[in-house]
Amino acid sequence: MKKAIDILAEFLRGVGQAQYFLAATLAATPRALAKPHLIAQQIYSVGVLSMVITVISGMFIGMVLGLQGYRTLVGFGAEESLGVFVALVVVRELGPVVTALLFAGRAGSALTAEIGLMRATDQLSAMEMMAVDPMQRVVAPRFFAGFVAMPLLAAIFCVMAIGIAGGYAIGVELLGVDAGSYWSQIRAQVEMDDIWNGVVKSLVFGAVVSWIAVFQGYHAAPNSEGVSRATRNTVVMSSLAILALDFVLTAFMFKID
Amino acid sequence: MQSRALELLVGFFFCLGVAAIFILTFKVASVNGVGSGPAYRVVATFENIGGLKNGSAVTLAGVKIGRVRDIVIDRATFEARATLEIAAEYDNIPKDTIAKILTAGLLGEQYVGLEPGGDEQSLKDGDTIRLTQSAVVLENLIGQFLAGKAQEGAK
């Protein structure tokens, strides 16, 4: 019983720390923006380096949606609607969600390990000794870069999945759906709101994944086991947060219509 | 030098991402002029609007020329008052035009189809379309069919 209360207290303390940490990060962000080269470097490591995996996953998701959608739709004689099917699924759901999951695995875990190792090797303490604020120098640029890079990656993912390399390649080139009706149906059925919903989702996911990643790294126990645990926590927590938030956001977005 | 290459890559990534968002908005979403440019509004009352929704299409000869903007109940007549927003370039639609609620395909979405009449005067902002035809409700249709069959049987 005592142990259960301890675990609960520890959990609540973690949640509280995370809130403080987010507030501190946001407070440090304006000052970090004054050093754009730091942010550019982080956008490079979380954004540019995640691009290859995003593009390839986008292609395969688009292709598999093309195949699955075609098999189902052709039974109703509605295979001309394949484009709408692929576009709506990708723009509303899979684009932001799958990109965020990849982002958590590829960029989030790297962020946590990097900051955790800085903590373990006393680099963060050394910065404080030199009167350099690690929140401003290390944490804020990484958080901000994740926030900016996520929507861009999600957009690239969506274009790859819908376009020439994804659903279009399978639907039009391989299965013989008419190219004109593929695009015209997409344009007739996909609304601007769908795209905004996707962008909002990816912004939220980007912020949450970056938040979890920098928090876990910053508060990692300063030894090799602590860093490994923090990295694992980042991936697990981010994935759960993404899926749960996706449900909440989707319910909310359907409500406003 | 290393930092220059890095900035170049970041810039490339940024442009690619922004380009992707632009492709999504212009190639994928429907940003044709209808519903965003200047428009005027007319009102049409229907006994039953079926599945017509806010945002449903308004078409003329099959071409989309506007959207349904608002649907309210008329408190006096208990009819549905639908406000139709029509793009300003279609300003010569005759006053005695008929507004029908039609269905795209057998089970598809419902939309308003306009059939132009022959009046010299044309619809202006705030006008009311007098001639309307309600949505076809499948249950009523089946009811009529069964009633007809029953009459036949009685003969």
- CB contact under 8 Å between B24 and A91, yes or no, is yes
Chains A–B, number of C-beta pairs less than 8 Å apart: 78
Q: Report which of A202, A231, A220, A207 is spatially closest to residue A25, judged by C-alpha positions.
A: A207
Rounded Cα distance, A128 and A239, in Å: 32
pLDDT in tens, A57-92: 999 999 999 999 999 888 887 878 888 889 999 999
Distance in Å, alpha carbon of A38 to nearest chain B alpha carbon: 10
pLDDT in tens, B72-98: 998 998 989 999 989 888 888 898 899
A-chain residues near B23 (CB < 8 A): 159, 163
Residue A206 Cα distances to A155, A198, B137, angstroms? 13, 12, 47
Q: Report which of B39, B30, B91 is spatially closest to residue B69, judged by C-alpha positions.
A: B39
User: Residue A195 carries which side chain, given as an amino acid letter?
Assistant: I
User: Residue B90 carries which side chain, given as an amino acid letter?
Assistant: Y
Break chain B down into helix, strand, coil percent, rounded to 5.
Answer: 30, 30, 40
- CB contact under 8 Å between B25 and A48, yes or no, is no
Element holding B133 (H helix, E strand): strand B131-133
Q: Report which of A81, A202, A189 is spatially closest to residue A147, judged by C-alpha positions.
A: A202
Q: Residue A153: its pLDDT value, please?
A: 94
Rounded Cα distance, B116 and B97, in Å: 4
Average pLDDT of the residues in A5-26: 88
Q: Which residue has the tokens 């029509």?
A: B86
B-chain residues near A44 (CB < 8 A): 6, 9-10, 13
Measured between CB atoms, which of B13, B21, B31 is closest to A48? B13
Is the pLDDT assigned to residue B62 strictly greater than 80? yes
What ipTM goes with this model? 0.70
Rounded Cα distance, A152 and A159, in Å: 11
- Is A52 touching B (CB cutoff 8 A)? no
Dump the DSSP string for A170-236.
IIIIIT---HHHHHHHHHHH--HHHHHHHHHHHHHHHHHHHHHHHHHHHTS-SSHHHHHHHHHHHHH
Q: Which two tokens stand for residue B151?
A: 């009459």
- Is A37 touching B (CB cutoff 8 A)? yes
